[in-house]
């Protein structure tokens, strides 16, 4: 399916948000995720199904100061 992830068009074989995060090698408990502007909580990612053209934002904390 085709998605826009953090502003970049990608074609991936992912059906859930958890699958997409795994395919993109995102790990950790500190990620924030949203689909089409709606926040998706960590515990809901495995049940959150993706649709063609979804806009997904993945944010992770950065170190520095």
64 in any annotated domain: no
pLDDT, one tens digit per residue, over 28-58 is: 778 999 999 999 999 999 999 999 999 999 9
Q: Which domain holds residue 50?
A: 2-59
Distance between CA atoms of 41 and 32, rounded to whole angstroms? Answer: 8
Q: Give me the chain's average pLDDT, please.
A: 93
Q: Domain tally for the chain? A: 1
CATH code for position 21: 3.10.20.30
Show Cβ contacts of residue 20 under 8 Å, excluding neighbours closer than 6 positions.
3, 5, 12, 14, 50, 56
Q: Indicate the pTM of the whole model.
A: 0.89
35 in any annotated domain: yes
20 in any annotated domain: yes
37 in any annotated domain: yes
22 in any annotated domain: yes
Question: What is the SS3 assignment for 11-50?
Answer: ECCCCEHHHHHHHCCCCCCCCEEEECCEEECHHHHHHCEC
Other C-beta atoms lying within 10 Å of the C-beta of residue 18: 18
Query: How large a percentage of the chain has pLDDT more than 70?
Result: 94
């Amino acid at each position: 399916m085709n998605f826009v992830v953090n502003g970049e068009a990608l074609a991936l074989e992912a059906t859930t948000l958890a699958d997409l995060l795994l395919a993109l090698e995102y790990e950790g408990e500190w990620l924030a995720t949203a689909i089409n502007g709606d926040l998706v909580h960590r515990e809901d990612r495995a049940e959150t199904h993706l649709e063609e053209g979804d806009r997904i934002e993945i944010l992770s904390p950065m170190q520095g100061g």
